[in-house]
Structure 1
Amino acid sequence: MRTATLVVMAFVVLLAAGAGWLWLRLNGNISTFDADGLSKNRPGAGVAGQNVLVIGSDSRAGGNSGLGGGEGDVGRSDTAFLLHVYRDREHAIAVSIPRDTLVDIPPCKLPDGSWTSGRTRAMFNSAFSVGESAKGNPACTQNTVEKLTGLRVDHTVVVDFEGFSSMTSAVGGVQVCLPKDVYQGDLNPHRGSRGDLLFAKGQQTVSGRKALDYVRVRHGIGDGSDIGRIQRQQAFVAGLIKKVRAQGFNPTTLLPLADAATRSMTVDPGLGSADKLLSFAMSLKDIGLHDIKFITVPWRYEGDRVDIVRPEADALWASLKADRTLDGKDAGGDRSKARQTEPVPGNEAGAPQASRSPGPAPASQAPVSGEGVSVSVANGTRVRGLAARAAAALAQHGFTVGDTGNAEVRNAGTTVIEFGPGKAADARTVARLFPGAYIRGVAADGITVTVGRDYASGSASGDTPGGASVGASAGASGNVAMDAGPSEAPSTAPPGTLSTDIAAKARSADDDPCANLSYG
Structure 2
Amino acid sequence: MLKAAGLTMAGLLVLGAGAAGWAYWHLNGNIKSVDINNALGDDRPAKPVTSPSAGASASASPLPTGSLNILVLGSDSRSGKENKALGGGDSSGARSDTAMVVHIDAGRRKATVVSIPRDTLVTRPSCPLKSGGSTAVAYGSMFNSAYSVGGAVCAVKTVESITDVRMDHYVEIDFSGFARLVDALGGVTVTLDQDIDDDDSHLHIKAGTRRLDGTQALALARTRHGIGDGSDLGRIGLQQKLVKALLEQISSTDLFTDPARLYTVAEAVTSSLTTDTGLDSLSELVDLGRSLKGLSAADVRTVMMPVVPAPSDHNRVVAKEPAASELWKSLR
Asked whether 1:112 is paired with 2:149, we answer: no
1:44 equivalent in structure 2: 46
1:175 match: 189
2:208 aligned with 1:202: yes
User: Which structure has more helix as a fraction of its residues?
Assistant: 2
CA distance in 1, matches of 2:193, 2:299: 25
- Percent identity for Structure 1 against Structure 2: 42
1:222 aligns with 2:236: no
User: Partner of 2:33 in structure 1?
Assistant: 32
Structure 1 segment 288-303 matched on structure 2, within 5 A: 288-302=296-310, 303=314
Instruction: Specify the alignment match of 1:101 in structure 2.
Output: 120
Distance 1:18 1:227 in 2: 40
1:262 and 1:126 map into 2 onto residues whose CA distance is 26
- The residue correspondences of 1:26-425 to structure 2 (distance < 5 A) are 26-35=27-36, 36-38=38-40, 40-47=42-49, 48-62=66-80, 63-131=82-150, 137-185=151-199, 187=201, 198-248=204-254, 250=256, 252=258, 253-302=261-310, 303-321=314-332
Aligned residues: 292
**Residues 181-209 of structure 1: per-residue CA shift (max 9 Å, x gap):** 33352536xxxxxxxx7212221111221
| Matched-pair contact (CA < 8 Å) for 1:70–1:76 | no
Q: Tell me how far 1:294 sits from its aligned partner.
A: 0.3
Of stretches 90-99 and 176-185 in structure 1, the one that deviates more from structure 2 is: 176-185
The residue type equivalent to 2:216 in the other structure is K
Report the Cα distance in structure 1 between the residues aligned to 2:109 and 2:255, rounded to whole angstroms: 17
- Provide the secondary structure at the position in 2 that maps to 1:78: strand
8 A Cα contact 1:38 1:142, kept in partner: no
> Could you tell me which amino acid in structure 2 is paired with residue 247 of structure 1?
T
Contact kept, 8 Å, 1:80 with 1:96, in 2: the verdict is: yes
Match runs of 1:459-474 below 5 Å: none
Find the aligned partners of 2:304 and 2:47 in 1 and give their Cα distance: 24
Mapped to 2, the partners of 1:187 and 1:179 lie a distance apart of 18
Please report how far the alpha carbon of residue 27 of structure 1 lies from its aligned counterpart in structure 2 after TM superposition.
0.5
Q: Is the 8 A contact 1:60 1:67 kept in 2?
A: no
CA distance in 1, matches of 2:282, 2:186: 23
- CA–CA distance in 1 between the matches of 2:75 and 2:137? 23
Deviation at residue 110 of structure 1 after TM alignment: 2.2
CA shift in 2, pair 1:33/1:205, >3 Å: same
Deviation at 1:291, TM superposition (A): 1.6
Cα distance in 1, alignment partners of residues 302 and 284 from structure 2: 25
Shift of 1:39: 5.2
> Residues 297, 162 of structure 1: CA spacing in aligned structure 2 closer, same or farther, 3 A cutoff?
same
Q: Whose relative contact order is higher, 1 or 2, with alpha carbons under 8 Å and at least 6 apart?
A: 2
TM-score, normalised on structure 2? Answer: 0.83
Letter of the 2:237 partner, please give it. Q
Ranges of 4+ aligned residues in structure 1 off by more than 3 Å: 69-72
CA contact (8 A) 2:198 2:226 kept: no
Q: Compared with structure 1, are the counterparts of its residues 18 and 152 closer, same or farther at alpha carbon in structure 2 (3 Å cutoff)?
A: closer
Letter in 2 for 1:170: A
Looking at structure 2, the residues matched to 249 and 66 of structure 1 have their Cα atoms a distance apart, in angstroms, of 29
The Cα shift of 1:172 comes to 0.6
Q: Distance in 2 between matches of 1:165 and 1:291?
A: 25
Alpha-carbon distance in 1 for matches of 2:221, 2:183: 15
| SS at structure 1 position matched to 2:114 | strand
Q: What is the CA deviation profile of residues 34-81 of structure 1, one whole-angstrom value per residue up to 9, with x for unaligned ones?
A: 434335411111124100100000122113111103444111111110
3-state SS in 2 of match to 1:43:
coil
What's 2:24 paired with? 23
Unpaired segments ≥5 residues, structure 1: 1-16, 132-136, 189-196, 322-520
TM-score for both structures, normalised by structure 1 = 0.54
Q: Which amino acid aligns with 2:231?
A: S
Q: Is the CA contact (8 Å cut-off) linking 1:83 and 1:92 kept in structure 2? A: yes
Q: Which residue of 1 aligns with 2:4?
A: none
Aligned partner of 1:497 in structure 2 is none
Go from structure 1 to structure 2 and tell me whether the alpha carbon gap of 1:199 and 1:75 turns closer, same or farther (over 3 Å shift): same
What is the distance in 1 between the residues matched to 2:34 and 2:89? 21
Give the whole-Å Cα distance in 2 for the aligned partners of 1:46 and 1:111. 28
RMSD value, Cα: 1.8
Structure 2: runs of 5 or more not aligned: 1-17, 50-65
Q: Is the 8 A contact 1:179 1:202 kept in 2?
A: yes
Residue 256 of structure 1 aligns to a residue whose secondary structure is: helix
Structure (1/2) with the larger strand percentage: 2
SS at match of 2:215: helix
Please tell me whether the aligned partners of residues 247 and 296 of structure 2 are also in contact (alpha carbons under 8 angstroms).
Answer: no
Q: Describe how 1:487-506 pairs up with structure 2 within 5 A.
A: none
Larger Rg: 1
